[in-house]
């Protein structure tokens, strides 16, 4: 994976969310929901205690992002970076909320010290990735 190779002091971009944002913007709510579920289910296999949580959050996130794709302005890096940052933060917020209620894990400290830096870094990495996807014809403005 590329994430651990480009981490900065333990903070790596969340490429699964970047890919989910690209899928939802390119294909819409239906494919993004299925894609989010499948990616989340694969990630859930590494944590059997919370099996299904990643799949639920990612499929909901994929549906939500796919539903608003017609309202977003394509080609503006600030908008696309903001969408990636909000998606990463929302994913981590709900994951940590459920995880902290089911176990003795903390909620606020990881949210502030891990989720916000990961969201910002993912946005910064997501912008050139989305520019490349647009250049390759994967992302294009709807008619």
Closest among 72, 82, 70, 69 to 126, alpha carbons compared: 82
pLDDT tens, N- to C-terminus, the chain (143 residues)? 677 778 899 899 999 999 999 999 889 999 999 999 999 999 999 988 899 999 999 999 999 999 998 888 767 889 999 999 999 999 999 999 999 988 778 899 999 999 999 999 999 999 999 999 888 888 776 53
Model pTM greater than 0.95? Answer: no
Q: What is the DSSP string of 44-103?
A: HTT-GGGTTHHHHHHHHHHHHHHHTGGGS-TT-HHHHHHHHHHHHHHHHHHHHHHHHHHS
Residue with tokens 């971009």: 13
């Amino acid at each position: 994976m590329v994430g651990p190779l480009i981490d900065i002091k333990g903070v790596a971009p969340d490429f699964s969310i970047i890919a989910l944002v690209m899928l939802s913007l390119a294909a819409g709510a239906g494919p993004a929901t299925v894609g989010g579920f499948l990616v989340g289910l694969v990630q859930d296999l590494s944590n059997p205690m919370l099996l299904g949580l990643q799949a639920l959050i990612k499929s909901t996130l994929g549906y939500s992002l796919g539903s608003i794709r017609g309202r977003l302005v394509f080609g503006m890096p600030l908008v696309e970076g903001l969408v990636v940052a909000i998606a990463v933060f929302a994913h981590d917020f709900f994951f940590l909320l459920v995880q902290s209620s089911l176990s003795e894990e903390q909620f606020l400290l990881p949210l502030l010290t891990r989720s916000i830096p990961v969201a910002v870094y993912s946005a910064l990495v997501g912008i050139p990735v989305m520019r490349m996807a647009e250049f390759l014809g994967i992302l294009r403005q709807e008619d």
